[in-house]
Amino acid sequence: MGRHLLAAVVVVVDTVLLVAGHREGLPPWGAPAYAMAVVLVVALRHRSPATAFTAALVLSALTGGAYVLLLWSAYHAGREVVSRRGTAVIVGSAFGMALGSVAVQLWSPSGDPRRIAGLLSVYGVFVALPMLTGRYLAQHERLVSALSRRNRQLGLERELLAEQERLRIARDMHDSLGHRLSLVSVQAAALEVSALPAEQRQAVRRLAGAARGAMDELHELVGTLRGEPETPDRSFAVQAIGTVVEEFRRSGAAVTLRQSGEPRPLSSAAGQAAYRVVEEGLTNAAKHASGQPVTVSVDWESDALLLTVANPLPDGPDSGEGGHGLAGLGERVRPVGGVLDHRLSGDGFRLFAMLPVTLEEEAADGEDLTATGRVHTAAVGIAVAALTFVLLPAGMLTGVRG
């Protein structure tokens, strides 16, 4: 609809300018015939922009006007003609018509050499400038499109490599860790039904429950790596922090949970990271400071969730060996825009994480790219318009006539 409206504006404006520039001597059929010729050139642009541009040059030379049509057809010729042959046609037509007009003014008995500057201005403003603008914008759009296709291709290649790596990890975990956890679960189940004192029986039940929970989590993790849908009731989020704290309490750990603030929405990845921060902090406390009290703080701010797991240092030497848990936490927290910190603080160890809340959905890349393209096109249009008004001689819109 917008293109047809612009074409109609070209026809109307050029016809009005012709009538205004030829108030005397224009026959009654002149304006309708001229308007019909402009319509034919506009219609021809959809089939052959180069031919339409050449026709606009001829019409401008015959009538001494058609500047709006010339500008419009030159812009579309520069934007849509990409082949070498078509480019040669439009450039040759422009140079040929310009040289012909200059030759007429130089050697024709009725010609006026003083009008050569005006003719060159016409071809510079209404032919060369819009043609170069159209060519520049077309090349810019093709470059952006090629970069977008390349980025999509690289993204697909990365996804393929990541999928292959996930499948390899899932296979290795299932074959090695899964086998060992299965043995632990079977042995714990055998101990669970054996004749044991009440105190030991309770401990064995907790051990068997933990082994079965580990097996369930392993199966879920392997399924996630293989691309299977996640089980809704096994998803880890902030709401499950109380559950993991209660599990450690049942195992004999002295855990205090403190919560403050109004809960706010988190992304799925941030919610899982929050759960893992608390789980890793409690696991480290049980491993390196067994028997010491642990404090878990969950503080909601207006734009972030603050998590703190703190415990005193052990009375004796720490016999536990370091692992990769904290490094893995950093790999979970940082990609979602969070911050992770762990250090000795006074007489204790402190694990801290800050995770951003979901304030609003981010714009898609394609929308950003489209908006950037619109801004770029508008900037080019403003620059061309300013340059046109600088170069446009006075009185040109009513024809180059003495």
pLDDT tens per residue across span 30-46: 888 888 988 898 888 88
User: What sign does the dihedral 304-309-312-318 (CA atoms) show?
Assistant: negative
Dihedrals phi, psi of 371, to nearest 5 degrees: -60, -40
CB 298 within 8 A of CB 310: no
91-130 pLDDT, tens digit each: 887 778 777 776 766 676 665 666 777 777 777 878 888 8
Give the long-range contacts of residues 176-180, CB within 8 A, separation 24 or more: 177/218, 178/215, 178/218, 178/219, 178/222
Tokens of 263: 């809960």
Largest Cα–Cα distance of the chain, in whole Å? 126
Check pLDDT > 70 for residue 369.
no
Q: How many angstroms separate the CA atoms of 50 and 390, rounded?
A: 28
pLDDT bucket at 366, cuts 50 / 70 / 90? very low
**Domains and their CATH numbers in the chain:** 2-148+368-397 (no CATH), 236-361 (3.30.565.10)
CA distances from 228 to 115, 223, 280 (A): 77, 5, 25
CB 237 within 8 A of CB 274: yes
Instruction: Output the CA torsion 191→195→200→205 (10° steps).
Output: 40
CB 309 within 8 A of CB 278: yes
Lowest mean pLDDT among 93-102, 154-163, 288-297, 378-387: 378-387
Three-class DSSP category at 312? strand
DSSP structure string for 237-267: -GGGHHHHHHHHHHTT--EEEEEES------
- Supply the pLDDT for residue 393: 47
CA 159 to chain CA centroid, nearest Å: 17
Select the highest-mean-pLDDT range: 25-34, 277-286, 372-381: 277-286
Q: Which neighbouring-strand residues pair with 356?
A: 304
Nearest Cα to 267, choosing from 341, 337, 330, 331? 337
Q: Which residue has the higher pLDDT, 30 or 310?
A: 310
H or E segment at 316?
none
CB 144 within 8 A of CB 366: no
